[in-house]
Chains A and B, each alone.
Chain A
Amino acid sequence: DAMVIQNPRYQVTQFGKPVTLSCSQTLNHNVMYWYQQKSSQAPKLLFHYYDKDFNNEADTPDNFQSRRPNTSFCFLDIRSPGLGDAAMYLCATSRGRGSNQPQHFGDGTRLSIL
């Protein structure tokens, strides 16, 4: 049973057209993360939520925003996608920030920019 669910699996958008990716979890974990992974590269953390506390990485572009309306859902908004934003976007969860528990990942959304 999928525990971290990302929709859609594939997303195509036009250059400059806003797009939203979604993630939901059935694990009731406190922490939710968004990673960007470009082809053959390591996943790169964009930001994470600890409950409602938003933590942005210093080098995450302003073009990327996130919302977490409740424990189960987290959204990634890209306000004006550029060609360089084409990537796999991975959502992950963990039980707590201080917890020595593994991060659980969804299957990702592959974003293409036309």
Chain B
Amino acid sequence: KQEVTQIPAALSVPEGENLVLNCSFTDSAIYNLQWFRQDPGKGLTSLLLIQSSQREQTSGRLNASLDKSSGRSTLYIAASQPGDSATYLCAVRRETSGSRLTFGEGTQLTVNP
């Protein structure tokens, strides 16, 4: 059974700091890994998707890496801003689970002005 863990559960940083969020998964037979952002009381916004054959993906100030063999992914946020405050979730799609995503519980990020 695939398990996804995100550490830390909460993180508070001053504005302008670069930061890294971590995601680990127990079954390395994944099809892809997706990072989402969730604002309070809202749905999920897809940030980055990394296919199993890729090592990283970049979008603006965000960079996600994937080390499939060790079961780890990181989301790097450069020059953080108060508007980045949200919960960040990672989710993996296993090769054998069809479309099903298995989510971590998220890291709640607060960027202080």
Chain A contact residues, CB within 8 Å of chain B:
4, 6, 31, 33, 40-45, 48, 50, 55, 57, 88, 90, 92, 94, 97, 100-108, 110
Contact = CB atoms under 8 A, between A and B. Distances in A.
A24 to B, nearest CB: 14
Q: Interface size class for chain B?
A: 20 to 34
A11 B79 CA distance: 38
Interface of B: 4, 31-32, 34, 36, 41-46, 49, 51, 89, 98-101, 103-106
Contacts of A110: 41
Contacts of A105: 36, 43-46
Contacts of B34: 102-103
A108 B43 contact: yes
18 contacts: A40-B106, A41-B105, A42-B89, A43-B44, A48-B99, A57-B100, A92-B44, A94-B99, A100-B49, A102-B46, A102-B49, A103-B46, A103-B99, A105-B36, A105-B45, A108-B42, A108-B43, A110-B41
Nearest to A9: B41
A92 B41 CA distance: 16
Contacts of A104: 46
B51 A107 contact: no
A48 B100 CA distance: 9
Given A40-B105, A100-B31, A100-B32, A31 B43 contact: no
Nearest to B108: A40
Nearest to A45: B100
Nearest to A89: B43
A93 to B, nearest CB: 10
Contacts of A48: 99-100
A29 B32 CA distance: 19
B99 A33 contact: yes
Contact of A90 (B32, B44, B51, B100): B44
